[in-house]
Amino acid sequence: MTQYAYLIGDLFFALVWLILFSHRKDLRKEMLTMSLIISPLGISEIIYYKDYWRPEFIINTGFNFGIEDLLFCFAIGGITAVIYEEVFDKTYSQRRDSRRPKHLLAIAASIILFIFIGNSLLGVNSIYVTSAVMLLAGLAIIFIRHDLIKEAMMSGLLIGLAMFLFYTLYFLLLFPGIIQKWWLLKNLSGILLFGVPIEEILWGFCWGFIAGPIYEFILGIKLKNK
């Protein structure tokens, strides 16, 4: 039955995505854009499969990633992009930040380079490398756009909390023992928060920290109260 656990979990995130998409018509473009951009990153599962976890897929592609990864990235990309706006009732301002993110390409290239160096050359576990790189990239963004610091922080906290609740209310309740079966705990800190690897919550925060404000950063958009 655990073969379907990842896919069923994706459907939960997809439901949240649909609710947000239906409720916030003003944010639909941002949701779709970020979901489509982020979904191909599901292929990055390859690096996590090596040293972090080994989930089961309904279809074995032979490349250590599955359709589940693409679906998860599609859903979490759109959710993270607008979760701050939804929870704190924000919308777009007519004003735009005149400073364009001239260093965006450098930030993107640095992310890829640091992940490669940290994981492949230095042998640091993929979950720590990617979390640290996302956090640093997020700090670079808010250094350029100070007005996005609250969105970055709150998006990180909300996604970290969402990951924790998802694991406790879904994986641990419906699939007891799945953490020990799928996660390579011997490679991790061993710290479990109510049974959830602390690394999952850490990753969720760092993901939200960078992905929450990235759309506004790229387009120079400012937010305001509705």
Mean pLDDT, residues 48-72 taken together: 91
Task: Give, in order, the Cα–Cα distances in Å from 3 to each of 54, 58, 66, 175, 181.
Answer: 11, 6, 12, 11, 12
Query: How many Cβ atoms sit within 10 Å of the Cβ of residue 135?
Result: 18
pLDDT above 70 (res 103):
no
Beta bridge mates, 183: 53
Predicted local confidence at residue 120, as pLDDT: 82
Predicted local confidence at residue 129, as pLDDT: 95
Predicted local confidence at residue 110, as pLDDT: 80
- The pLDDT mean for the chain works out to 92
DSSP state at residue 169: I
Q: Is the pTM of this model over 0.85?
A: yes
Mean pLDDT, residues 63-72 taken together: 92
pLDDT above 70 (res 14):
yes
Query: How many Cβ atoms sit within 10 Å of the Cβ of residue 97?
Result: 17
Mean pLDDT, residues 126-131 taken together: 96
pLDDT over 90 percentage in the chain: 77
Predicted local confidence at residue 193, as pLDDT: 95
Reported as a single tens digit per residue, the pLDDT across 171-208 is 999 999 999 999 999 999 999 999 999 999 999 999 99
Q: Would you say 220 and 96 are in contact if contact means Cβ atoms under 8 Å apart?
A: yes
Nearest to 159 by CA among 215, 216, 201: 201
pLDDT above 90 (res 68):
yes
DSSP letters for 14-47: HHHHHHHHHH-GGGHHHHHHHHHHHGGGGGGHHH
